[in-house]
Amino acid sequence: MLEKAPTTEIDTYTRAATRVIALYQHWLDENPTSEDEARRLRKGDTAERELRLAALQGQREAIFDLARHRRISDEVSRRLVREIDLQEARYR
């Protein structure tokens, strides 16, 4: 991609890459992770994923309830549930 780019674009990408590297290096320097810290972070990630999945299930149930009581059409409920399915797939 960069081999055909004008010099100004290459400079832009180089500067951006330098900033990203500096950001991550700063993060690594400031956040040394021990095994305990890594385990704590994984537990936090797992808890967040479980909460997000529970929220999506609650949304799905609410949509089914709205459709069952004819407050939204079948078409709308199918579309909304499909969006929830896609979001849910990211967390599984």
- Provide the percentage of residues in the chain whose pLDDT is more than 90: 51
Q: How confident is the model at residue 12 (pLDDT cuts 50, 70, 90)?
A: confident
Query: Is residue 63 within 8 Å of residue 87, measured between CB atoms?
Result: no
Torsion sign (Cα): 36, 42, 48, 53: negative
**Residue 3 has what pLDDT?**
55
Torsion sign (Cα): 31, 35, 40, 45: positive
Can you tell me the mean pLDDT for 83-92?
Answer: 92
Least confident among 12-16, 31-35, 42-46: 31-35
Helical pair 74-91 and 35-68, crossing angle rounded to 10 deg: 170
**Residue 55 has what pLDDT?**
95
- CA atoms of 72 and 45, how far apart (whole Å): 34
State pTM to two decimals.
0.60
